[in-house]
Amino acid sequence: DTGVSQDPRHKITKRGQNVTFRCDPISEHNRLYWYRQTLGQGPEFLTYFQNEAQLEKSRLLSDRFSAERPKGSFSTLEIQRTEQGDSAMYLCASSLVGGFAEAFFGQGTRLTVV
């Protein structure tokens, strides 16, 4: 296990379709985060899990977005009824529990809604 893995790397979808992304964190990491990054901006926090519990959600996360982390291992982020404004890079990160350990990021899933 060499790092955080995200799948797919790229996704093109038509407006109105549902999409699901997967993140596999570093195996011993209990915390898992989702961020969204648009062109020319820094990553924006969406949500985070500690083990299987979703402990915080950003106001950016509308009702069309849902994230899960069953069994505290991999996580999925689903976007329903996609809109053009959802086009962005979706980044997953993981970290150890305990203080503010640094987060390790995956390479992201680039979503394009046409």
Partner 1 sequence: AQKVTQAQTEISVVEKEDVTLDCVYETRDTTYYLFWYKQPPSGELVFLIRRNSFDEQNEISGRYSWNFQKSTSSFNFTITASQVVDSAVYFCALTEVTSGTYKYIFGTGTRLKVLA
Interface ranges with partner 1 (CB under 8 A):
3, 31, 33, 35, 40-45, 48, 55-56, 58, 89, 91, 93, 95, 100, 102-108, 110
* CA atoms of 93 and 5, how far apart (whole Å): 9
* CA atoms of 101 and 114, how far apart (whole Å): 38
Nearer to partner 1 (CB atom), residue 82 or residue 109: 109
Nearer to partner 1 (CB atom), residue 60 or residue 114: 60
* CA atoms of 35 and 4, how far apart (whole Å): 14
Q: Minimum Å distance from CB 62 to partner 1?
A: 17
Of 32, 36, 100, the C-alpha closest to 65 is 36
Q: Which two tokens stand for residue 87?
A: 């086009």
Residues 6+ apart with CB under 8 A from 38: 44, 87, 88, 89
Nearer to partner 1 (CB atom), residue 80 or residue 87: 87
Q: DSSP assignment, residue 101?
A: P
Q: Minimum Å distance from CB 112 to partner 1?
A: 14
Nearer to partner 1 (CB atom), residue 19 or residue 33: 33
Q: Minimum Å distance from CB 81 to partner 1?
A: 26
Q: Minimum Å distance from CB 85 to partner 1?
A: 19
